[in-house]
Structure 1
Amino acid sequence: MTKTLYMMRHGETLFNRLKKIQGSCDSPLTAKGIADAQRVGTYFQEHAITFDHAYSSTQERASDTLELVTKQPYERLKGIKEWGFGVFEGESEVLNPRPDPIRRSHGDFFCQYGGESDLQVQARVVKTLTAVMARPDHHQVLAVSHGGASFMFLRRWLSMDEIERRGIVLSNCAVLKYQYDNGAFKFEKIINLSSADGNNN
C-alpha cells in the first residue's frame, strides 16, 4: 500500500541569517522563519492535507516549526536531526570545505573534527523514516527535519544530476513530498512557500 511522507525543513533561524554552521547546535527562529512556517500550515489547510502522525527532530528549531504548522501531537526523533559538524558548529559558513568531487557533498570532511560523514547522516535518516513509514497506522506523515539531513535523504532516491536538472533547492520551510511503498521512497515534488522563493518543482 502506497503511503505519503511530507518531509519539511525548519524555518529560518538566527544562525541561518548570520550564515553560521548549524548542525547539532541550535538557534531560534526569526520572524521570517515563523511567518514561513505559518504559511506552510495555511497551505496544508487550504489543500485539505492532514496527517495521521507528525514528527520533528529533537532540535528546537524543528519542533518550533512543527508547532507553527500544526497543533496536533507529535514525537521527536533523534534519527532525523541535522548533520553534526563537530568543532565547526557555530562557526562561519565560509569555513565549509569545497564539495568532494566524487561524492558531490562534504563527504567525510567533518569526521576528523568530531562530526558526521554524508553517508552516516543519510543512513540514519533513511533508517529512521523507513521504520516510521513501515508502521501500519502511518499513511500520511509529516516529518520536520533540517537542510543537510533532508538533502542527504533526497540523494538516496534521486541522483545529484537529477536534483540539479529539476532545480530542486531546499530553502527554509521547503517541503519534500514522497510516496512510500515496501521500504522505498519515490520523490514526487517540492513545495517552496518561503517569502523569498517561488519554486514548486
Structure 2
Amino acid sequence: MKTLYLVRHGETLFNVAHKIQGWCDSPLTENGINQAQKLSGFFRNIPLDHAYSSTSERCCDTIELILNNRLDYTRLKALKEQNYGIFEGESEALSPKTPKDFETFFLPYGGESSNAVGKRMLHCLTTIMSQSDHHNVLAVSHSGACFNFLRMLQDPSEELKKGFSNGTIFVYHFDQGNFQLANVIRPSN
C-alpha cells in the first residue's frame, strides 16, 4: 500500500490579515516558518521518495523548509488553490458562509468552481500515486484544495468541523487506484 501525505502550507500574511488568497500569494509569517520547521521534524524519519508542491510561493517555501534539501520536489499548477476571481486579496468576510455556497459562487467573478478544484486535485494526485516508484509521497497544497480533494472521496463534514489549520497533514492510503483517508494530523499550536 502506498501513502500520500497531503499538507496545507504554513501560515501566511494573508491568513493573519483574513484575506482571500486563492491564486494570489503572500509570504509565510514567522509562525508559518516555524510550522514548516515543525513539519520537517515530523517527516524526518519518514522515507519519502517523491515530493510535489503547488506553484504558489507559500507552498514552495513550506515544502523547502520541510525537506531541508533532502529531496528535490516538483511544482505542479494542478495543486494550486481554488481561483477566487476578483475576490482575490479581498476580506474573507466577503466569502460564502458554507461549503455548498462555495461550489459556484466565484464563477461569475472570473473564479473557479469548487467541483473543478476537487476534480483537478483528484486527477493530479491519482496520476502521481499511480506511478510505480511512488510509495511515500509528500504534496503541499492549500486549505480549499485539500478540502475539495477530500470531498471527492467522502463526506468531509466531520473533518471540516475539526478545522484545516495551517500545517495540517492529511494521510491517505492509495491502493488499486483509490484513496482512503487514514488520518488527519493537526498541529498542536
Q: TM-score range by the shorter chain?
A: over 0.9
Distance of 2:169 and 2:60 partners within structure 1: 15
Letter in 2 for 1:50: P
Deviation at 1:105, TM superposition (A): 4.8
Q: Output the CA distance in 2 between the equivalents of 1:69 and 1:17.
A: 21
Note the alpha carbon deviations across 1:135-190, whole angstroms, 9 max, x for none.
110000000000000010111222134435xx542100100000001221000111
Per the alignment, residue 59 of structure 2 pairs with 62
Structure 1 segments unaligned to the other structure (5+ residues) = 196-201
Match of 1:84 in 2: 83
- Structure 2 unaligned segments of length 5 or more: list them: none
Q: Which amino acid aligns with 1:27?
A: S
Contact 2:165 2:187 in 1 (8 A): no
**After the TM superposition, which segments of 4 or more aligned residues of structure 1 sit over 2 Å from their partners?**
160-164
Question: Any residues of structure 2 matched to 1:115-126 within 5 Å, and which?
Answer: 115-126=111-122
Q: Which amino acid aligns with 1:84?
A: N
Question: Counting helix residues as a fraction of each chain, which structure ranks higher?
Answer: 2
TM-score (norm 2): 0.95
Per the alignment, residue 185 of structure 2 pairs with 191
Match of 2:143 among 140, 147, 170: 147
Structure 2 counterparts to residues 1-201 of structure 1, below 5 A: 2-45=1-44, 48-70=45-67, 71=69, 72-99=71-98, 104-163=100-159, 167-195=161-189
8 Å contact kept, 2:147–2:156: no
Q: Contact 2:150 / 2:156 at 8 angstroms: preserved in 1?
A: no
CA contact (8 A) 1:36 1:194 kept: no
Structure 2 counterpart of 1:88, one-letter code? F
- Percent identity of the aligned residues? 49
In 2, Cα distance between equivalents of 1:76 and 1:89: 22
Q: TM-score, normalised by structure 1?
A: 0.89
In the aligned structure 1, how far is the partner of 2:84 from the partner of 2:188?
26
Q: Deviations over 1:71-126 (max 9, x none)?
A: 210000111101000000000000012326xxx35110000000000100001000
* Aligned residues of 1:5 and 1:141 also touching (Cα < 8 A): yes
**Aligned residues, how many?**
187
Q: Is the 8 A contact 1:174 1:193 kept in 2?
A: yes
